[in-house]
Amino acid sequence: EKADREKTVNLEADTVTVDDSKQTSIYQGKVILTQGTLVIRGDKLIVKQGAEGFEHGTVYGAPATFKQKREGYDEYIEGFADRIEYNAKADKAELFNHARMKRNQDEVQGNYISYDARTEFFQVLGGDKDKGTTSGGRVRAVIQPKIKPAASGAGATAPAAQPAESAGKALK
Amino acid sequence: ATNLPLLKVDPALLQAAEPTVQTKKTPDPSSPPKQPVSAKPINTENSGTAATVPPAKSVQTDSGVGQPPKTTSPTLDPANAPIILSADQIKGHQDQEVEAFGKVEMQKYDKTLFAEHLTYSQPTDELFAEKNVRIEQKGNIITGPELKLKLDTNVGYMEKPAYELAGTHARGTGERLEFQGEDKFQIKDASYTTCPVGQDDWFIHAGNLDLDRTSQIGTAHHAYIEFKGVPILYTPWLEFPLNNQRKSGLLTPSFGSSGNSGLEITTPYYWNIAPNYDLTLSPRLLSKRGLQIGSDFRYLQPTYAGSAQFEYLPNDRVANINRYALNLQHAQRFDYNWSGSLNIQKVSDDNYFRDLSTRLTNTTQTNLPREGVLSYNGGGWWGFSARVQRFQTLQDPLAPIVQPYHRTPQLTLTALKQDIYGTDIGLTSEFVNFNNPAPTALQPDGKRFTIYPSISLPLNNSFAYITPKIGVHYTHYTLDKNQTSFPDSTRTVPIISVDSGMVFERDANFLDKAYLQTLEPRLYYLRVPYRDQSQIPNFDSGIADFNFAQIFSENQFTGGDRISDANQLTTALTTRLIEPETGFERVRAAIGQRFYFNEQQVTLNAPARNTKTSDFLAALSAQISSAWSLDAGWQYNPNQHLTQKSSFSTRYRPEPGKVINMSYRFTRDSLKQIDLSTQWPLSGNISGLARLNYSLLDSTIVEGLAGIEYSAGCWAFRVVAHRIATATAQSSNSIFLQLELNGVSRLGSNPLDTLKQNISGYTKTNE
Amino acid sequence: CGFHLRGQATLPFETLYIDGNRDSPFVNELKRAVRSGSATKLVDNPSEAQGIVQIVGETRQKVILTLSGGGRVREYKLLYNIAYRVHDGKGKDLRPQGEISLKREVSYDDTQLLAKESEEALLYRDMQSDAVQQLFRRLQVPKLNQ
């Protein structure tokens, strides 16, 4: 959720090597990064510091995992992939190869998943993002129908998502 | 043709029926219900029971608003089943919408959907798909360019649909298909056919086509039928079955012509009031006579069932009278012991059937029964029944007949108690009040009371039996004195009989197949002293046919007014070939003859027998293989060395659609007929239908039929010419032209009953 | 010529339940045949029975057989049909589901309606006893899965 930005980042790992010139540090071995509700785990994590501190992280793992609470909901988003690139400033995550993202029973799988926590917009591609191919592999999604709350539309505390009518645009 | 069938509901058959209605044509997939109440009209064509009990509607549970999703596995509850998507690319907003691109495949509970682009809105549970969309549910397949569907209520539309229904694979296209909930569609500007893809022989085009898969009924509004490109019939409203169950109330008009009524057109309307009630109204326009309204209301309940048919033709222009016909059948089981039935038939005038019906079972009726029966079953070993029976006699001026007695009432009590110290004690007793509509001196009104107790001692073991039996037959008549000179009288006569027989067995071979062969000699001695019965009127007695059932009975006469004197020995020898592995009797042959030890004294409008022996009887019946069956009978008079009666019939039916029946029937001085009938494929999908029933005695065609049936898989066309003798030197010819569109409708006059009656073993080729 | 006296009829059931319409004379006569013709015991409760003979259908039909030259009925054909199932009460059929179809011919004359009615009854009773004997013989065949 948004509040994570102000929380302190703590990291655990077996070893860490720091490269001040590029302002990056590389953690290896059972790496765990936590910042508020955000938890990132993996075998190797490259952290890039920026003016306001933790700016960008790239984690490798089998699989690397990423977990964060949704803004305004008592739910957690979980991501799994071979490599996850997390942009803390923009609160965006990109999952590469064998990517999988879960929330309650809803789940999406594909070769590449991008997720913008602020707009809650996600995109799943079958192709190999690194090689720039978009087609090729298939993607899957399992959606549990929402139990319609009495009020229509999204929950009362809708996150600052793009206005709902954008979703309606596609529904002629 | 009026459809006033001769329908008899036998109360003995009445049993607490399951509340399902037995649909006529298809065998019941689940095990047949126990002894359904068989209110079975003989004319099953357009008055068969057609109400179908809709299967339990799938439970559409709403899991409650605002509650957290139940933890039960989602697949149980269709509304909550998860949606599984696979595609080339998916994107969307959490809890908002999901959009999928590229060979999208969606699966939810029993729905599967394919498309190029799909958007699913989670809050409204609605999905929108475009570019070669295909949706499959419960076997129904619908394709089209664009689909919108609310998943939980199954409401939505598909543009320019092409559809194929499960089961009959009926298919068609349309402008727009509206999904109207579970298993209900409405298609605008629709076409519908049961022909397979690639065979576009016929279509129903409808401004509006409603398909309801739960009640399995399709309804077309502003419809016209197009056959081979030619529109042949417009009807504002047409209902037809969606499954193979022949909804016999097919509602397309049928037309024909007949000599005495001119051109006629019937347009039946079927109203499925409730699963156990239905009504068929058939207005019938007769060019020479006017408009006749036929109605057939049927009902089936667990404890009672029946049908009421009523036809009304106000002021028949030819006969200048109002004409009507009524046929009420009712059978009811009141409780464990009591049951009853009604069989009431009435017509307005004697020529009603001859003028208005071509149905053989009607035109040959001369006495219409009006009877009510009440019976009590006393635990299987005794029973009581009360019956009131009257008749309406339809006189043919050319051949007037004597009206039968009315029995108002007839009370019977029968009992048979077995193993009373090794003996069987039987009792039949009856009281009848005979009422003659036109009493004469010889046939007065009168009351008859009969009681006939008997005791028999059945001694048997596995290979032999001997059953002596003695009974006293007591009858008392009280007659209407000012109608007849016959006095009141009583008749008491003892009846003594000894029945005996043995059974021998051996293994035998016949046509190189192993059988168990039996040899069963039987001797039956009967002694009945003579009683003068010349002063007794004859209410219901007659001479019984001489056959293997009659030669072992205690009386040569049927009914209760004449008891033949007897001092005779009947001998018979029967042999059977029995299939050892199933116990089925494949062949039975029997010969028999009776030897008289004194002269016949009791006669009934026939001269007394003056011979020492009876005619010689022989009978053979064989079901050698599933295709071949054969029956023959011969009655030979040894004293005059001539055949009294003979019959020979055989049927060859290798498979449905191929049958040949041949039979020859001869009765001295009264009947000499050959009867050939066949249904045989000629070439490709044309099969020939023919029947010739030729009387050699009168050298006339008693009944003839010739026709062909062309079947093209999903439709069939029949042309049938039928000729039948209706009175002396008079016959009625009719032509049937019928186009049957499989599963939908039959256009034209309906020859199916006539075909089934004329060619036994006939089966429709497009079945 | 190989004939020998018939041996004792044995049904491969110690106990049998006949499941049919209790008003039908056929059912009563079948019960009598089993009682007197074999050692099998008839029980009133299907659960105690080793085998259940279910009389699925008993139908009678009268069809015109011959017409005179003048279109009047000369002979009727009487059809009598028994459909039966022999099962173990738990849905397993112990015999192929069978049918016994019999037919008799009776001459007809409009003026003797009542006499012919009792003659028909005589012929139906004859067919009924015939059907009982045939079904009784079919029951003697060893059980399907023996």
DSSP B205-231: EEEEEEEETTTTEEEEEEEEEEETTEE
> Is A149 an interface residue toward B (CB < 8 Å)?
yes
pLDDT at C140: 87
List the 537-556 stretch of B: residues with Cβ below 8 A of C.
539-542, 544-545, 547-550, 553
Mean pLDDT of A121-135: 76
Structural contact between residues B79 and B62, judged by C-beta atoms closer than 8 angstroms? yes
CB within 8 Å: C71 and B364: yes
Average the pLDDT over each of B62-66, B432-436, B742-746 and give the range with the smallest value: B62-66
**E strands, B242-381, in order:** 254-258, 262-266, 269-274, 277-286, 290-300, 304-313, 323-333, 338-347, 367-378
CB within 8 Å: B85 and A141: yes
> Is C39 an interface residue toward B (CB < 8 Å)?
no
Q: How large is the C-alpha radius of gyration of chain A?
A: 17
pLDDT at B631: 95
List the 17-46 stretch of B: residues with Cβ below 8 A of C.
31-32, 34-35, 38, 40, 42
A153 chain-B contacts, CB cut-off 8 A: 123
pLDDT at A135: 62
H/E stretch holding A167 reads helix A165-169
Distance from CA of B700 to the nearest CA of C (A): 7
pLDDT at B245: 59
Average the pLDDT over each of A85-94, B40-49, B667-676, B733-742 and give the range with the smallest value: B40-49
What is the 3-class SS of B406-440, one letter each residue?
Answer: EEEEEEEEEEEEEEECCEEEEEEEEEEEEECCCCC
Q: Which of B542, B665, B726 lies at the smallest CB-CB distance from C71?
A: B726
Q: Two tokens at B607?
A: 């001269």
CB within 8 Å: B65 and A149: yes
H/E stretch holding C32 reads helix C25-37
Centre a 10 Å sphere on the Cβ of residue B446 and count the other Cβ atoms it contains.
24
> Is A172 an interface residue toward B (CB < 8 Å)?
yes
pLDDT at B727: 67
C18 chain-B contacts, CB cut-off 8 A: none
Q: For A114, name the nearest residue in chain B, comparing CA atoms only.
A: B91
> Does residue B20 carry a pLDDT above 70?
no
Give the neighbours of chain A: at least 3 Cβ pairs within 8 Å: B
Rounded Cα gap, residues A162 and A145, in angstroms: 21
Report angle CA A158, A163, A165 to the nearest 5 degrees: 120
Banded pLDDT at B249 (limits 50, 70, 90):
very low
Rounded Cα gap, residues C71 and C67, in angstroms: 5
CB within 8 Å: A150 and B97: no
pLDDT at B252: 61
How does pLDDT run across B507-564, given as a tens digit for each residue?
Answer: 999 888 899 999 999 999 999 999 999 999 999 999 999 999 999 999 999 999 999 9
Rounded Cα gap, residues A57 and A30, in angstroms: 15
Q: Between C29 and B69, where is the model more confident?
A: C29
Centre a 10 Å sphere on the Cβ of residue B502 and count the other Cβ atoms it contains.
15
List the 43-72 stretch of A: residues with Cβ below 8 A of B.
70
Distances in Å between the Cα of B460 and the Cα atoms of B521, B572, B695, C8, C59 are 15, 18, 48, 11, 31
Q: Which of C2, C85, C138 lies at the smallest CB-CB distance from B583?
A: C138
Cis peptide before C12 (omega within 30 of 0): no
Question: What number of C-beta contacts closer than 8 Å exist between A and B?
Answer: 130
How does pLDDT run across B489-506, given as a tens digit for each residue?
Answer: 999 999 999 999 999 999
Q: Which of C22, C31, C113 lies at the smallest CB-CB distance from B404?
A: C113
Mean pLDDT of C49-64: 90
Cis peptide before B521 (omega within 30 of 0): no
B interface test, pick of A148, A162, A166, A172 with most B CB neighbours within 10 Å? A148
Helices (H), B484-572: none
Mean pLDDT of B723-746: 76
> Does residue B18 carry a pLDDT above 80?
no
How does pLDDT run across B262-286, given as a tens digit for each residue?
Answer: 888 887 777 777 778 888 888 989 9
Residue B171 Cα to chain centre, angstroms: 32
Q: Two tokens at C53?
A: 């003979």
Burial of A132 (0-12, 13-18, 19+ CB in 10 A): exposed
Average the pLDDT over each of B92-96, B220-224, B493-497, B751-755 and give the range with the smallest value: B751-755
Q: For A107, name the nearest residue in chain B, comparing CA atoms only.
A: B84
Banded pLDDT at B253 (limits 50, 70, 90):
low
Closest CA to B128 of B116, B141, B118, B115: B118
Burial B234-271 (b: 16+ CB within 10 A, else e): ebeebbbbbbebbbbbbbbbbebebebbeebebebebe
Backbone angles phi, psi at B376, to 5 degrees: -125, 130
**Chains C and A contact (Cβ–Cβ under 8 Å for 3 or more pairs):** no
pLDDT at A133: 65
Mean pLDDT of B574-587: 92
Rounded Cα gap, residues B444 and B435, in angstroms: 8
Average pLDDT value for chain C = 87
Q: Between B412 and B52, where is the model more confident?
A: B412
pTM exceeds 0.90 for this model: no
Rounded Cα gap, residues B64 and B505, in angstroms: 75
Closest CA to B499 of B518, B520, B522: B522
Distances in Å between the Cα of B273 and the Cα atoms of B117, B170, B251, B279, B280 are 45, 26, 15, 7, 10
Q: Which of C115, C138, C141 lies at the smallest CB-CB distance from B540?
A: C115
User: What's the one-letter identity of residue B514?
Assistant: A
